[in-house]
Every structure is written in C-alpha cells, then in structure tokens.
Amino acid sequence: MGYEMLRRTLAEAPVMQRGEYRYFIHPLTDSIPPIEPALMEEVANEVIGSADLDVDYMITMEAMGIHVAAIIGHLTGIAYNIIRKRSYGIPDEIRIAQKTGYSRGEMYLNSVSPGDVVTIVDAVISTGGTLVAVINALRDRGAIIKDIV
C-alpha cells in the first residue's frame, strides 16, 4: 500500500477552524512545514502509477496543485495547464466561479480547446467546490476529462 509518508504527515497535520470549516495545514497543500522532497517523490510516483495520464496535458489549480503537477510533468514529460487566480484577458479565456466551504472567488483558464483530453491534478479536495466548478467549465468548453487525482 502506497502513500505511507503522506498518510503519516496527514495524521500529524494541525487542524484550524476557518469559519464553520475545519482546515488542515500540511506541507503538500500549504508548504507548512516546508515540503520534503521524499514526500513529493512519493506522491508523484503513486499518482504516475495509478492515474490515467494518457492525455494531451494535465490541468491544475493555482496555487496548491502547481508543484504536484510540475513534478509529475517533469517525470513523465506531460505538459500541464494552470488555472490562475487572475485574468489575462486572452481571447477564449474561461472564467470559473469558485465557491468552497470557506471562500469564493474567480479563477481563469486559458488554452483549452474542444476535444482536449485532460487529467485534473490537485493537492487537496476539501469541499469539492473548486473541483465541481472546474469540471463544469472544462465540460462546457468541450474538453474530455480522463481522470481526477
């Protein structure tokens, strides 16, 4: 069974209250404490071994998923596209309204075309609000979601 270091560090992670939501603080999601290379290597190798990465590219969200997608991309040669927290005003930019258990805002995605085959990579899924918004935006654009990790 994989993810031993991830399981241990999650069990040790402090939990804080954010309004009515309990939020854990972990190296992989918050860089508190700093991310150990062995933890990143474990997570990347487990994802590579289990996810469907027969895709055009991966999609990840700023900021927590970038480092995860980056190392997976480095090890596999698969490109990744980042959903950003600010608009660049580029034609065909996708605006994504995001609502979680503890925040709301807007995110922006560029360079997605109908028929693109993608896997979504994120460091954590807490309430699912961000993920649902991303899935809906990708489907509306006509992208094909192969996997979510």
Task: Tell me: pLDDT of 23 over 90.
Answer: no
Average pLDDT over residues 106-129: 92
Domain boundary assignment for the chain: 4-148
For the stretch 73-91, pLDDT in tens is 999 999 999 999 999 999 9
**In this model, does residue 110 exceed pLDDT 90?**
yes
Question: What is the residue type of 138?
Answer: L
Instruction: Give dist(CA 140, CA 149) in Å, integer.
Output: 20
Q: How far apart are CA 86 and CA 106, in angstroms?
A: 8
Instruction: Identify the CATH class of 4-148.
Output: alpha beta
Question: What is the average pLDDT value for the chain, to the nearest integer?
Answer: 92
The per-residue pLDDT for range 124-145, each reduced to its tens digit, is: 887 788 899 999 999 999 999 9
